[in-house]
Amino acid sequence: MGHCYHHALSSVRKWGGRAEDYLPLHQWFDESKEITADFRHRALRHHAQGIFELERTFGATTTLSTGRVVPVRLIGEQHVLEDLGFIPSFADWVRGIRPAPWMGRAQPIHKLVDPFSAGVSTDVATT
């Protein structure tokens, strides 16, 4: 697919109403284009958990201008299916990310902030 408007027109074909009824939902999926303007933006929301997040954000259903009530999850599934051809899990996206060394560098902050960490003195000076 492509532009959110085209996804919205596809929703109109499927459930009726007007494109404006669906645009906010389809735009939500593609807001991640602000981060990266290529297909990789989809890793943020184009998966099963993203569809459930859409539902949490917009509610379980949306009422169209015609009065018809449509489950938001179905609209989310439509969007992802049109873009990817299936609904991946977030784990599917993660498996496609090539790890780089900086991704695994964790700082041992516990040694700096936890007085009960091994090797850190817990003696308190008395006055």
Q: How far apart are the C-alpha atoms of 120 and 85, rounded to whole Å?
A: 54
What single string gives the DSSP state of each residue in 7-28? HHHHHHHHH-S-HHHHHHHHHH
Tell me if 38 sits within 8 A of 110, measured CB to CB: no
pLDDT digits (tens, 9 = 90+) for 106-122: 888 888 888 887 664 54
Q: What is the pLDDT of residues 34-82, one digit of tens each?
A: 999 899 999 999 999 999 999 999 999 999 999 999 999 999 999 999 9
Give the global pTM: 0.82
- Position 1 confidence tier, pLDDT thresholds 50, 70, 90: low
106, burial (CB in 10 Å: exposed 0-12, middle 13-18, buried 19+):
exposed
Exposed (0-12), middle (13-18) or buried (19+): which is 77, by Cβ within 10 Å?
A: middle
What local confidence, expressed as pLDDT, does residue 119 receive? 60
The β-bridge partners of 69 are: 63
pLDDT tier at 103, thresholds 50, 70, 90 = confident
What's the pLDDT at 104?
Answer: 83
User: CA–CA distance from 34 to each of 30, 31, 39, 40, 81 (Å)?
Assistant: 8, 6, 12, 11, 22
